[in-house]
A and B are shown apart, each in its own frame.
Chain A
Amino acid sequence: MNEQIFRKYVIRRKSSFAMDKIFTYSLWLVASMILLLVTFLLIRILWNGLPGITLHFLTGIPDEIEAGGGVGPFLFNSIYILLISMALSLPIGIGSGIYLAEYAPNNRLTGFIRTSVEGLASVPSIIFGLFGYVLFVDVFQMGLTILGAGIALSLLNLPVITRVTEEAIQAIPIDLREASYALGATKSQTIWKVIIPAALSGIITGSALAACRAFGESAVILLAGGTGTSGIMWDFNPMSQGGTLPIHLWYAQSEALVEDAKQIADRSAAVMVLCILLINMLIRLPILIRDFRMWKH
Chain B
Amino acid sequence: MKLEGNIKSSSYLPAHGFKIKARTKNVRNYLFFLFCLLSALMLGVVLFCIVLFIGKTGLLVFKDVSVMEFFFSTKWEPYDGKYGAAIFILGTLSLTALTMCFAVPLSLALAVFIVEVAPNWVKKILRPMLDLLVGIPSIIYGYLGLTLLIPLLRNITGSIMGDGLLAASLVLTVMVLPTITRISDDAITAVPKDLCEAAYALGSTRFQAVFRVILPAARPGILTATVLGMARAIGETMAVVMVIGNTAQIPGDLLTPTAVLTSNIVMQIIDVQFDSTWNYALYMMAFLLLIISTLMILIIRRIRGKGE
- A→B interface (CB under 8 Å): 16-17, 19-20, 23-24, 26-28, 30-31, 34-35, 37-38, 41, 44-45, 91-96, 98-100, 102-104, 112-113, 115-120, 122-131, 133-135, 137-138, 155, 158-159, 162, 186-189, 191-192, 209, 212-213, 215-219, 222-223, 246, 249-250, 253-254, 265, 269, 272-273, 276-277, 279-280, 284
Contact = CB atoms under 8 A, between A and B. Distances in A.
Q: Is the interface of A mostly helix, strand, loop or mixed?
A: helix
Q: Which 10 A-B pairs give the minimum distances between C-beta atoms?
A: A216-B137, A124-B235, A95-B39, A20-B205, A96-B40, A188-B32, A99-B36, A212-B135, A219-B237, A116-B44
Nearest to B237: A219
A96 B57 contact: no
A30 to B, nearest CB: 5
Contacts of B225: none
A37 B44 CA distance: 41
A17 B208 CA distance: 10
Given A133-B269, A158-B46, A273-B136, A96 B39 contact: yes
A284 B47 CA distance: 33
B137 to A, nearest CB: 2
Interface residues of B, number: 84
Contacts of A265: 143
Contact of B57 (A134, A219, A222, A277): A134
Contacts of B39: 91-96, 99
B235 A158 contact: no
B93 interface: no
Contacts of A219: 237-238, 262, 266
Contacts of B125: 35
Contacts of A187: 29, 32-33
Contacts of A216: 135-140
A75 to B, nearest CB: 14
A17 B139 contact: no
Nearest to B143: A269
B110 A31 contact: yes
Contacts of A26: 109
Interface stretch (B8-16, B111-119, B190-198): B111-119
Given A28-B113, A28-B117, 7 more contacts: A44-B144, A130-B269, A162-B40, A189-B25, A218-B139, A280-B131, A284-B128
8 contacts: A28-B113, A31-B126, A135-B53, A188-B29, A222-B266, A223-B270, A246-B137, A280-B131
Contacts of A223: 266, 269-270
A276 B289 contact: no
Contact of B132 (A37, A124, A276): A276
Nearest to B236: A124
A24 B140 contact: no
B244 interface: no
Interface stretch (B79-87, B250-258, B291-299): B291-299
B70 interface: no
B290 interface: yes
A158 B53 contact: no
